[in-house]
Amino acid sequence: MALLNHKKTREIGRMDRVIRLLKPIVTRGEYGAKEEVLSWNGDPYGLQIRAELMPVQRKMEEKQGGGKETAFSEKHWRIRYREGIDENIVIRWRGNEYDVIGVIENDRGQYLVLKSEKREAGYSEFTA
């Protein structure tokens, strides 16, 4: 009987959140205006993967945006290593979207840590 690597099994067991990864794609709208569409290789629901929501000191800061103050939070996600993950990715979890602001390779290329900030409702770089 093969021995199990209990450390690795325990690590994978911590990935108890289901998130979706999306890439923003710029398209032209009906009247020629630029629009941002989120999808993963044409799938509008995105790539579904398992992730660990890592303990991080949540920071709540006040931002000035359009004359009103809004609060945002930062979350760190740990996922299995995957090619093509960068700061252009958007994470969708529990109906909220988070912009990836940093990607850190962890454990000799076995995992990635995605640092993210919550998007403001209705955010698009073309609506700002």
CATH code, domain with 50: 2.40.10.270
Percent of the chain with pLDDT over 70: 72
125 within domain boundaries: no
Q: How far apart are CA 20 and CA 127, in angstroms?
A: 23
- What tokens were used for 101? 């602001």
124 within domain boundaries: no
Q: How far apart are CA 93 and CA 118, in angstroms?
A: 10
Q: With a threshold of 0.75, does the pTM exceed it?
A: no
> What phi and psi values does residue 7 have, to the nearest 5 degrees?
-65, -45
**Residue ranges making up the domain that contains 43:** 6-118
Whether residue 101 has pLDDT greater than 90:
yes
More confident: 2 or 74: 74
State how far the alpha carbon of 72 is from the alpha carbons of 45, 51, 67, 94, in Å: 24, 21, 16, 16
Task: Identify which has the larger pLDDT, 122 or 48.
Answer: 48
Whether 113 maps to a domain, the answer reads yes
pLDDT at 95 over 80: yes
How many domains would you assign to the chain? Answer: 1
